Structure 1
Amino acid sequence: MSTPTPSNTESAERPQDERATVEAAEKKRNAEMEAAAREARDRLQAEVNALPALPGVYRYFDARDEVLYVGKAKDLKRRVSSYFQKNHGGTRIGMMVARISRMETTVVRTEAEALLLENNLIKTLNPRFNILFRDDKSYPYLKITSHAWPRMAYYRGSVDKRHHYFGPFPSAWAVKESIQLMQKVFKLRTCEDSVFNNRSRPCLLHQIKRCSGPCVPAGQTGDYARNVQSAERFLRGETDEVMAMLQEQMMAHAEAQHYELAAEVRNQIQALSKVLQQQVIEESSATGRDRDVDVLAVKVQGGKACVNLAMVRGGRHLGDRAFFPKHVDDATAIRLEDEEVLSPERQVLEAFMAQHYLASPVPGLIVVSDPVDAGLAEALGVQAGSRVTVQAQPRGQRRIWQEMCIKGAGLALARLLAEEGSQQARTRALVDALDLSPPEIDKFRVECFDISHTAGEATMASCVVFENHQMQSSEYRRYNIEGVTGGDDYAAMRQVLTRRYSKMAEAAQLGTGRLPDLVLVDGGRGQVSMAREVFEELGLDLGLIAGVEKGEGRKVGLEELVFADGREKVYLGRDSAALMLIAQIRDEAHRFAITGMRAKRAATRTGGSRLEEVPGVGPKKRAQLLQRFGGVRGVAGASVDELCSVKGISRELAEEIYRALH
């Protein structure tokens, strides 16, 4: 019995029916999406209609619940309504409004509170359409301890009221320069208390007249306390008073015919006068409100912006620090028609001031390059708990500081634009040299791996990341390599690649993760073969892998790239921009691995934190233990009786050490 076959007419009708079914399903999906969008828009409009006419902060979110924009308003209802009542077309604000899925609002009492809350949220949420300044580093201070013989030190961290702190300074270099000045003029000590308490004679700093030697009885005189007082007054900006006091001391020594002491004070006066002349500050300028001033200048060019902060503390210009915000182009374009038209410079400057002073001390006077909202000074005063003056048209010495700061902002931005241009050119050169096709050149991502150890000891692997034309240090990772034979770099590379990409491969297959565009391994064919095995097991593209093989004689510039997918070796050339970028990434991976390895090795050899954390075991006893038993492993293998045999180790302490290491 034969099976009936469909006629030609039936065969032709079947694809048409299938197409009609697909089209109907697509129309249904589109209709559902449009209905959902209308429903979301109606819900948003209902929320807008219910808003109060009070000051507050609003936040917009997209369909993935990622924050798009944070704004403040004197009148929440009026401001938020204007986003949805007008057709913004294809502008950037129109693009943002089209992506809004939901919103949140917070009502506050005053516009100053709204400003502070707005910028707290901006720093926390990192919105796509807000100007964002990232400055996670704390500022350094010069610290003078409350010791009987006070010590000067560089300090970064939370302030302890027991000691005296001067600053903040714009950089570590500025603090260290001030410490050197204090050593030359006032001869204050800088040594740690543990060193100070165990000195039997003055150190080299005393020999070169950088310390008065209070660590020994000969240097423990009343002059040291006077020098500490003079140093503190100088750092507070009381330069005239300090100079007058030194003059009196010099004359008193001279009248008493103590000519050597008078000569020392004279040298102090000369050194201090030289410093004051170098600071280019008028005698009257270091008084009153000019003792602590922040000077701010902004420069916007080519879609980038720079805010230069110059710090004046105690009447001394301590130096500059440049800040480069994100999202400048998008944020400066998000301005509503009913808002005041502000220049990009003013928008950037106001954003910096509001965000920067949330976590930094606010001086009483801020000199700016462009006028800002008067309400900003009020908000900063609320934040500081004291009156803050913002001045855009200064005179005299303030004008000189302002001009210096404006020039610094221009130079810093020009340097950034030049560096970005060269960085982008290097990225493009590498992409072209390897014939890669990343979706976006700005998001081209390279991950590089290196293995480091000392004769098989303390094996450490590193992974560094290059993206957006620069190294991304926050994404660096170190991996402790365990369970492999010491010195087996291939097994170590296999372990780190497996750990790195096993979960990442699963996430990429589910569409929730992203693999790098290029994986570099520091090594030749052997390391590349190991990487190939790992990627084959994980089902990843072998075309992602490249090894950096040393050239003839291991000379820099002769490196070749080895590939896992069978391509021929590539020699980029000594002057190739692509090779320069690869060398930079490779060297960074090596540096990151070797520093981690050294720290791990030191911890292993010295007992690490386990031995250091035992109460009663100081540096001397720890050294005696390690010397007696040949290292931490020997200490860990010793019995309580054996530990007791070490000089200074009681039975109770020996038992405590034994428990800590087992």
Structure 2
Amino acid sequence: MESSKIKSLPHLPGVYVFKDESGTPIYVGKAVDVRKRVEQHFSGAPIDPREDVLRKKAVDVEVFTTRNEVEALILENNLIKRFKPALNVMLKDDKTYPYIKVTKEEYPRVLLTRRLLDDGATYLGPYTSPSAARLTIKHLRQVFPIRSCSLELGKKSYRPCLDYYIKLCSAPCAHFISKEDYLKLVEGFVSVLKGSYKRVLAQLYEEMEEASSQLRFEEAARLRDRIFALERISTKQFAQLPGWADYDVFAVSGDVGAVLHFRKGALVGREVIRIKAPQGIPKEKLVAEFIELFYSSGRIPSATVIAEVSKEDAHVLKSWLITKNPECEVRPPKNLKEKELLEMCYANLPQTTKEDALKELARILKIQSARVIHGFDVSNLGASYPYVSAVCFKDGEPDRRNYRVYKIKWVKGQNDFAMIREAVFRHARHIKSGELPKPDLILIDGGPIQLSYAKQALLMAHTDTPVISLAKKEEVVYDTEGKELRLPRSNPALQILQHVRDEAHRFALKHHRKKRRKESLKSALEEVKGIGRVRLSRILERYPTLESLKKANLDSLCKIPGISKTLAQRILFVIKERQTSP
């Protein structure tokens, strides 16, 4: 890179983006002094292999100045997500465990999610068991009855749903509670999940005594019931180990990172996340970049983040993380107890890489390679909406560009076996035409019968691709000859197959739900007098789901060709009726 270009850069905090000859971003970095940091990249001997590659490929640099280092860190993270530069560390999979989400709305609601977004909401967790997370929500809503529905609340009043009558919701939709009192419930809900249940309990006792002294006995009784319920929950959920604080502990090795979550001394969750990292990055730098990416998707850090990071990186990370949790500090372990936690985190890292797991899978199945795997799963509701999903994995990672969904055309009635045969046959034709990559292995969700139908399809398509199946519950593998293989649950080869199978199932369900929502919208619109086939297709083109149509207004509907003001009013009336019906 030309030295004149570097000398023209400002001595200000900001983000710099190195680009190659084609203008493609290859590395994004941040600095307190952009010019000084860029000069360091090109002075002296390269400190690691990544910097060596950077010097050879970088021909241009673009700079974004910020007011401080924290803003630079946030911008750096956003640009990494946007450009996906080859020389930056990036998360590969980030949807491991469910979180409890409390939305940022006028009347917040609670839900369970695996998607962490930087949307201002509060995310609490992770939870290793979805059923345990749902049970936690249910128990806490008995104490703090906040809503879980997706209604857009405002001035309009709705009829309360069943949750109100079974005391899981205080019905803000029906204006049965003031906004101020409702937000107090939300605050209590979040505080308990953060571990501050003793403070919340003391506050409830104080409110109960005040209500009793003012002769508001019904309110005092409600507070008493909430106190009893919270005490029962705290006995079950919040056992403590003396003298222990809240920790998030980080460890990284190779292409995988692990995070252990301790709350009040109890291990409440573990996340193992695959990462994409250039070779040769110093360990401290790799861990710091992993932490930055981990918390960038909406997670709230604990009071103490334990990791092997430098003082400089720890300071930068803390400056950013205190905007999410004012009590947060980032540092290496400083006593024997914390060193043991870090050792435990390293012990939770997988001992084999995905490359090793794929080689092990190929060895077990006696095939040449398992780098490219296609997985199939059937999704239907009785004989309605029959679909088969086909997912593609390359080197153990989802290749979503080559996902397909096959609407069943040739099979009448509910015959899952024949559906698999049709989908595999049609899929094989796409592979032969070059539309899809040729797989090293095909995986069918099911047992020996599903496997035999898939083999029939491949025989019809004149292809000899190895095909196996994986049965749920027992997790039995049926190999290319139909023989049973019972692998240990900890076997990395089995875990690869489970990942492919589960992803095919998730993709099939996603498409099936999308189709059902569209059919639900069609049935709603068919109730409206004056909507025929042509108008229906125009509305569906503009509003493909019932949820999107609920957000429409009179003006936007009237912009659709053939939709008059009167007809638009009829549509809105029918949609609102469906929305308010219990």
Shorter-chain TM-score bucket reads: 0.5 to 0.7
Instruction: Report SS of the residue matched to 2:258.
Output: strand
Match of 2:258 in 1: 306
Match of 1:631 in 2: none
* Distance change (3 Å), C-alpha of 1:46 and 1:482: same
Separation in structure 1 between the aligned mates of residue 451 and residue 400 of structure 2, nearest angstrom: 28
Separation in structure 1 between the aligned mates of residue 495 and residue 301 of structure 2, nearest angstrom: 43
Count of residue pairs brought into register by the alignment: 504
CA offset at residue 279 of structure 1?
A: 4.0
Instruction: Report SS of the residue matched to 2:439.
Output: coil
Match of 2:111 in 1: 154
1:71 aligns with 2:29: yes
Which of 103, 124, 130 is the equivalent residue of 2:88?
Answer: 130
* Distance change (3 Å), C-alpha of 1:272 and 1:158: same
* Distance change (3 Å), C-alpha of 1:175 and 1:614: farther
1:484 aligns with 2:396: no
Match of 1:22 in 2: none
Instruction: Look up the equivalent residue of 2:288 and give its one-letter code.
Output: E
Instruction: Report SS of the residue matched to 1:129.
Output: coil
1:117 aligns with 2:75: yes
Which of 567, 572, 591 is the equivalent residue of 2:505?
Answer: 591
Contact 1:560 1:572 in 2 (8 A): yes
Q: How does 1:171-186 map to 2 (within 5 A)?
A: 171=126, 176=134, 179-186=137-144
Contact 2:16 2:63 in 1 (8 A): yes
Residues 404-426 of structure 1 show CA distances to partners (whole Å, capped at 9, x for unaligned) of 8x7666545433415x46x7665
Q: How does 1:386-465 map to 2 (within 5 A)?
A: 391-392=329-330, 410-418=343-351, 420=352, 427-438=358-369, 444-450=371-377, 457-465=384-392
Separation in structure 2 between the aligned mates of residue 582 and residue 318 of structure 1, nearest angstrom: 26
Which of 435, 439, 442 is the equivalent residue of 1:519?
Answer: 442
Which of 49, 55, 59 is the equivalent residue of 1:102?
Answer: 59
Which of 322, 344, 351 is the equivalent residue of 2:289?
Answer: 351
Match of 1:547 in 2: 467
Instruction: Report SS of the residue matched to 2:362.
Output: helix
Contact 2:102 2:122 in 1 (8 A): yes
Instruction: Report SS of the residue matched to 2:124.
Output: coil
* Distance change (3 Å), C-alpha of 1:230 and 1:243: farther
Contact 1:452 1:593 in 2 (8 A): no
Contact 1:116 1:379 in 2 (8 A): no
Instruction: Look up the equivalent residue of 1:92 and give its one-letter code.
Output: P
Instruction: Report SS of the residue matched to 1:168.
Output: strand
Contact 1:377 1:389 in 2 (8 A): no
Match of 1:611 in 2: 523
Instruction: Look up the equivalent residue of 2:209 and give its one-letter code.
Output: Q
Separation in structure 1 between the aligned mates of residue 116 and residue 234 of structure 2, nearest angstrom: 30
CA offset at residue 300 of structure 1?
A: 3.8
Q: How does 1:201-350 map to 2 (within 5 A)?
A: 203=165, 205=166, 229=184, 232=187, 235=190, 239=200, 240-249=202-211, 265-273=223-231, 279=238, 295-301=247-253, 304-308=256-260, 320=269, 322=271, 324=273, 326-327=275-276, 330=279, 332-333=281-282, 344-345=283-284, 347-350=285-288
CA offset at residue 72 of structure 1?
A: 3.4
Contact 2:388 2:423 in 1 (8 A): yes
Instruction: Report SS of the residue matched to 1:246.
Output: helix
CA offset at residue 462 of structure 1?
A: 1.4
Contact 1:196 1:215 in 2 (8 A): yes
CA offset at residue 169 of structure 1?
A: 1.5
CA offset at residue 447 of structure 1?
A: 0.9
Separation in structure 1 between the aligned mates of residue 513 and residue 189 of structure 2, nearest angstrom: 40
Which of 137, 141, 161 is the equivalent residue of 2:101?
Answer: 141
Instruction: Look up the equivalent residue of 1:128 and give its one-letter code.
Output: A
Instruction: Look up the equivalent residue of 1:306 and give its one-letter code.
Output: A
Instruction: Report SS of the residue matched to 1:69.
Output: strand
Separation in structure 1 between the aligned mates of residue 324 and residue 507 of structure 2, nearest angstrom: 48
Instruction: Look up the equivalent residue of 1:100 and give its one-letter code.
Output: K
Residues 239-289 of structure 1 show CA distances to partners (whole Å, capped at 9, x for unaligned) of 233321123445666xx9x7x98776545434434556764689xx9xxxx
Instruction: Look up the equivalent residue of 2:348 and give its one-letter code.
Output: R
More helix by share: 1
Match of 1:39 in 2: none
* Distance change (3 Å), C-alpha of 1:46 and 1:474: same
Larger deviation, residues 471-480 vs 386-395: 386-395
Residues 170-196 of structure 1 show CA distances to partners (whole Å, capped at 9, x for unaligned) of 347687455434444356676787997
Contact 2:145 2:185 in 1 (8 A): no
Larger deviation, residues 375-384 vs 272-281: 375-384
Separation in structure 1 between the aligned mates of residue 31 and residue 470 of structure 2, nearest angstrom: 61
1:168 aligns with 2:168: no
Instruction: Look up the equivalent residue of 1:305 and give its one-letter code.
Output: G
Which of 559, 566, 586 is the equivalent residue of 2:478?
Answer: 559
Match of 2:9 in 1: 52
Separation in structure 2 between the aligned mates of residue 134 and residue 587 of structure 1, nearest angstrom: 18
CA offset at residue 92 of structure 1?
A: 1.9
Match of 1:289 in 2: none
Match of 2:542 in 1: none
Q: Which runs of 5+ in 1 are unaligned?
A: 1-43, 286-292, 334-343, 506-513, 537-541, 562-568, 618-650
| RMSD (CA atoms) | 5.9
Instruction: Report SS of the residue matched to 2:279.
Output: helix
CA offset at residue 298 of structure 1?
A: 2.3
Q: Determine which structure has more spread, i.e. the larger CA radius of gyration.
A: 1
Separation in structure 1 between the aligned mates of residue 240 and residue 470 of structure 2, nearest angstrom: 55
* Distance change (3 Å), C-alpha of 1:53 and 1:193: closer
Separation in structure 2 between the aligned mates of residue 87 and residue 201 of structure 1, nearest angstrom: 66
Separation in structure 1 between the aligned mates of residue 170 and residue 290 of structure 2, nearest angstrom: 44
Contact 1:366 1:391 in 2 (8 A): yes
CA offset at residue 46 of structure 1?
A: 5.0
* Distance change (3 Å), C-alpha of 1:246 and 1:152: farther
Instruction: Look up the equivalent residue of 1:154 and give its one-letter code.
Output: L
Contact 2:378 2:387 in 1 (8 A): yes
Instruction: Report SS of the residue matched to 1:127.
Output: coil
